Structure 1
Amino acid sequence: MNEIEKFEIEVQNNIDSLMNDKDIQALSRIWIREIIPHKWVYNFSWLGRPAIQVPNDAWALQELVWKIKPDLIIETGIAHGGSLMISASLLALLDYTDAVESGKVLDPKSSNRKVIGIDIDIRQHNRLAIEQHPLSHKIQMFEGSSIDPSVVNAVKEAAKGYQRILVCLDSNHTHDHVLAELEAYAPLVTSGSYCIVYDTIVEDMPESMFRDRPWKPGNSPKSAVSAYLNKCDDFVVDEQMDAKLLISVATGGFLKRL
């Protein structure tokens, strides 16, 4: 056994230990509950664009992108565009490593890897900032409800020909909306890749935290995930990811396609 293998075993033992530690899991939920009113996730940006994302979840996406090497990432929910930049930059890094391994000169615009972003309302100032960003050539945006049949069909058409697809759902967090998103986009996920459903944490937070929102415990992304998995056996929840992250808004939402 070499040193890398020994380290990987140590990491796996760490994750197994965290998976069995109910106290630290509860403490993590308490921390998230207490930090949400401070809008902590608003404090971060990625390559110049605000990214309303928990850093642990962004790191997890990076690990998955490196492992899966998708050529297409589909995201619902754009906001300021920070999440698009996370995905686009990770795909650009895959392009770079491909060029290094092949010994070819990198032409940033020659790769067909891209990110599709969908939002019901792309604010003009955000659209302009995204379109002027150096990574804009890797981004395609669709404006409209992510569950509108015309939008779904347009995205499916744009996704044709891609071999490895990863999906991130982060728009309207009600049960019905997320379930409709899962039914529309999860089938596009390729074997071994993931559909990441964000804000499943809503289910584990006090209902009083969402008085000004249409979602709440029982009407949340996690309840939608449960309903979807009850009728679809193509995906499993990656519980290892939940255990390793602990601080995450997507607990129970990292769905791996078998």
Structure 2
Amino acid sequence: REAVPLYTPEAFELVSREWMRIGWNCGYSYRYSWLGRPVVQLPQDMMRFQEVLYRHRPDLVIETGVAMGGSLVFTASLLSLLGDGGRVVGVDVEIRAHNRAAIEAHPLAGQIELIEGDSTAPETIQRVRDAVRPGERVMVVLDSCHTRAHVRAELELYAPLVTPGQYLVVEDAVMRDLFDVPRGHP
């Protein structure tokens, strides 16, 4: 590999890529929380997402992949701050009892609905559709199983729920850069 001058966009891209790979392997994204709930996200991704929420002000954000609930609380808190009465629906194949209890006891629980089930199963999709109220501006965040087949299935099933002017966000698209990192499995 040839040398790249340090203070250039090329060097920034190279260093950023390696920082991501090393950080992923060291569990960097597991070191944060939001309003008391662990959040498995990179802070810079959260900053970018709040920009999208602020600009587009959805009424409902549907997120596949609940984990410990930090991302749901993050989104609910921002929607609350925007003052539009926004809600979050979190979908996961397994919501562990202690995480469910903590989310349901959180001060923002009134803005969060949990749906337990395979995000691509017909009965789960129907429950998600039923959660959408007429006229709501709907944004979707896909952050569950990161295999190509699963993400493709979620894209096909959840894209029709996104309303005009809103976004469908696919988290962890960086997986293609992590194939040779020891902990870089989807």
TM-score of the two chains, using structure 2 as the length reference: 0.91
- Post-superposition offset of 1:58: 0.6
Number of residue equivalences:
179
Counterpart in 2 of 1:88? 76
Partner of 2:131: 158
SS at match of 2:40: coil
Q: TM-score, normalised by structure 1?
A: 0.66
Flag the structure with larger Rg. 1
Structure 2 SS opposite 1:31: helix
Aligned partner of 2:116 in structure 1 is: 143
Structure with the largest fraction of helix = 1
Shift of residue 157 of structure 1? 1.5
Separation in structure 2 between the aligned mates of residue 181 and residue 141 of structure 1, nearest angstrom: 17
* Offset of residue 189 of structure 1: 1.3
Matched, 1:167 2:140: yes
Q: What is residue 192 of structure 1 aligned with on the other side?
A: 165
Unaligned runs of 5+ in 2: 1-7
Q: Aligned-pair RMSD on alpha carbons?
A: 1.6
Separation of aligned partners in 1, 2:78 and 2:181: 37
> SS of the counterpart of 1:45?
strand
| Structure 1 residue 54: Cα displacement | 0.3
Query: 1-side partners of 2:182 and 2:161: how far apart?
Result: 33
1:119 aligned residue: 92
1:69 aligns with 2:57: yes
Structure 1 residue ranges without an equivalent (≥5): 1-19, 99-110, 216-258
Q: Distance in 2 between matches of 1:184 and 1:160?
A: 18
Residue of 155, 158, 175 corresponding to 1:202: 175
Percent identity over the alignment is 45
Candidates 46, 56, 68, aligned match of 1:58: 46
CA distance in 2, matches of 1:86, 1:166: 15
